[in-house]
């Protein structure tokens, strides 16, 4: 579920533009999805702390850890781009 998540409506024409607007407006973006949705649930369920898993469970746990790390890295890139965009907009508004 975590790895294959897609926003509701992802197949609707024009969705990508609307999703970009939501992300820029900080309504919902990768950082929010990572920090406020997935991390709390995974922490509550203690998914990454489960010991004694068989090979399939260990593989799934490792894949989830890699996915979360990748999502965090992508969210960091987005955060940097958003901060740069805000700085440009503030500079335009000031000058």
pLDDT digits (tens, 9 = 90+) for 8-45: 888 899 999 999 999 999 999 999 999 999 999 999 99
Tell me the mean pLDDT in the region 72-77.
96
**What is the share, in percent, of the chain residues with pLDDT greater than 90?**
85
Percent of the chain with pLDDT over 70: 100
pTM equals 0.84
Q: For the stretch 60-81, what's the b/e string if a residue is b when 16 or more beta carbons lie within 10 angstroms of its beta carbon? A: ebeebeeebeebbeebeeeeee
């Amino acid at each position: 579920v975590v790895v294959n998540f897609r926003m509701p409506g992802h197949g609707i024409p024009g969705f990508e533009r609307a999703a970009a607007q939501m992300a820029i407006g900080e309504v919902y973006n990768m950082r929010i999805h990572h920090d406020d949705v997935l991390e709390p649930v995974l922490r509550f369920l203690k998914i990454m702390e489960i010991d004694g898993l068989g090979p399939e469970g260990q593989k799934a746990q490792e894949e989830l850890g890699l996915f979360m790390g990748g999502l965090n890295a992508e969210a960091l890139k987005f955060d940097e781009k958003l901060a740069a965009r805000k700085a440009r907009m503030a500079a335009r508004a000031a000058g």
